[in-house]
Amino acid sequence: MSYFMEKSDKEIFDLIQKELVRQNEHLEMIASENFTFPSVMEAMGSVLTNKYAEGYPGKRYYGGCEFVDEIETIAIERIKKLFGCNFANVQPHSGSQANGAVYAALLKPYDKIMGMALSHGGHLTHGAKVSLTGKMYQSFFYGVELDGRIDYDKLADHVQVVQPNMLVCGFSAYTRTLDFKRLREIADSVNAILLADVAHVAGLCVAGEYPNPFPYCHVVTTTTHKTLRGPRGGVILTNDEEMAKKIDKMVFPGIQGGPLMHVIAGKAVGFGENLKPEWKTYAKQVKANINALATVLVGRGFELVSGGTDNHLILMSFLKNSFSGKDADIALGNAGITVNKNTVPGETRSPFITSGVRIGSPALTARGMKEREFKIIGNWIADILENITDTNLQAKIKKEIKELTKDFIIYDRAIY
Ligand code: DSN
């Protein structure tokens, strides 16, 4: 196939081809990453990128929106069906934009928000001081106990002291099930709005493999590219009509201009995949695979935060090891296993060094890998970590990974 870009911009074309090879030949185990559907990539590379459509379906500030109106309406209806909720805004460009819009719509500057601390598995936009959300609002944090779990009684007491206007639940690195019912009771005890950011687990939620945050949460945000496997972007969901109106006004014209219609079409196509019966099979396999990996690592003597997982990710803890999360990240990366270093409960090292790594199964599951492959990978990870300075071993495993991945080619071309 001949590409326009190959002729017009060889430099970028070649780099994209190299990225294709990297994605095919490495083991992508960053818990927040996934491989989207070629059909989603087609939507994102379509003529829709040319269209301005400020406003919402039926109420645009531009002409020529008859087809993008239909596309956005389909995206809205599909995500509402997936979560069983009444209102959806599919325009946020990202999860951070989605969270920012919710705060700005439903809070006043300097109101109190309370979320999981970044160092305990929360997200920057849950009030971290370096984020605008930690500057625009008074932010307070809860965390996990040394066993890697939220102590809800402790959280309830803490909430009474802080009296937040909004309680934020959701995470980037928590391995256990969130108790949305209990979180709502805790939020209600101080009349706080409960926001769930389910970016990490959304694909499991809609398959029934993780609890649905509805009906307990007032507002739910998610990215669309993690376990949902859609295009890069965000959405906001609610059952509350008044909140929905405020949120729509804040997304546009509040903080965004023209929606990315090519991405919204990608969201519609991705949600269409999420609605198919095969989606449940994928979500079940994501969990089966991470559990197969966890079993091998525990069997080889490694410590996992909380002892295992209820979702798609595990956190390996090296608090008792001589090497750090950074060392592990580099050693695994040398062998072609891509993970990210991560702080762990009881952390003793700096956030740039850390004592853990976060590992997820969604991307390799999308390639068709099953328990058999995850057991092999678990033993490779253990071999590398047990011999962390052995670069010959890393090189040997890299070759074995290249062989394994030949049977699981995810894309046969870089541009769809
Ligand atoms: N960067 C995402 C993650 O890795 O969890 C969060 O935005």
Mean pLDDT of 280-286: 98
One domain, residues 55 and 85: yes
25, part of any domain? no
Same domain, 227 and 310: no
Q: Is the CB of 226 under 6 A from ligand 1?
A: no
The two beta strands, 337-338 and 27-28, are parallel
Annotated active-site residue in 25, 33, 42, 54 = 54
Which of the two residues, 176 and 412, has the higher pLDDT score? Answer: 176
Q: Ligand 1: distance of its center to the CA of 57 in Å? A: 30
Beta carbons of 401 and 25 less than 8 angstroms apart: yes
Q: Are residues 250 and 341 in the same domain?
A: no
In a domain, 411, yes or no: no
The tens digit of pLDDT for each residue in 221-239 reads: 999 999 999 999 999 999 9
Same domain, yes or no: 325 and 213:
no
Residue 415 located in a structural domain: no
Answer whether 32 contacts ligand 1 (Cβ < 6 A).
yes
| Structural element, H or E, at residue 99 | helix 95-106
pLDDT in tens, 74-123: 999 999 999 999 999 999 999 999 999 999 999 999 999 999 999 999 99
Asked if 246 and 307 sit in the same domain, the reply is no
Question: Domain ends where: 274, 304, 333?
Answer: 274
What's the average model confidence in pLDDT over 43-69?
Answer: 98
CA distances from 242 to 90, 102, 340 (A): 17, 13, 40
Q: What order of strands is seen across the sheet that includes strand 356-360?
A: 303-304, 313-317, 356-360, 340-342
User: In terms of domains, do 74 and 203 share one?
Assistant: yes
| Of 242, 274, 306, the domain-final residue | 274
The pLDDT-based confidence of 416 (bands split at 50, 70, 90) is: confident
Q: Are residues 390 and 303 in the same domain?
A: yes
The domain tally of the chain equals 2
| Domain span including residue 209 | 41-274
| 224 and 345 belong to one structural domain | no
Model confidence pLDDT, tens digit, residues 349-370: 999 999 999 999 999 999 999 9
pTM of the model: 0.97
406 noted as active-site residue: no
CATH number of the domain at 377, please.
3.90.1150.10
pLDDT over 60 at 1, yes or no: no
Which one of the listed residues 52, 152, 411, 416 is annotated catalytic?
A: 52
Residue nearest to atom 1 of ligand 1 (CA): 32
- What is the rounded CA–CA span in Å between residue 223 and residue 216? 19
Give the Å distance between the CA of 9 and the centre of ligand 1.
Answer: 31
Pocket probe mutation, ligand 1, options 30, 93, 94, 123, max atoms within 8 Å of Cβ: 123
Strands (E) in 143-233, as ranges, are 166-170, 193-197, 219-223
- If asked whether residues 266 and 293 sit together in one domain, one would say no
Looking at the fold, whether 147 and 251 belong to one and the same domain comes out as yes
Q: What is the average pLDDT across 296-309?
A: 98
56 is catalytic: no
Task: Identify whether residues 142 and 239 lie together within a single domain.
Answer: yes
Residue nearest to atom 2 of ligand 1 (CA): 32
Q: Any idea what the CATH number is for the domain that residue 232 is in?
A: 3.40.640.10
- Is 145 catalytic? The answer is no
Confidence of residue 3 (pLDDT cuts 50, 70, 90): confident
Q: Is residue 45 part of a domain?
A: yes
For this structure, is 229 an active site residue?
no
- Over residues 162-185, the mean pLDDT reads 98
| Residue 77 lies inside a defined structural domain of this protein | yes
165 in Cβ contact with 111 (< 8 Å): yes
Q: Annotated catalytic residue: which of 175, 223, 309, 405?
A: 223
Q: Catalytic site residue 223?
A: yes
Residue 46 and residue 195 in one domain:
yes
Q: Give residue 2's pLDDT.
A: 60
Tell me if 30 is assigned to some domain. Answer: no
Chosen domain end from 213, 245, 274: 274
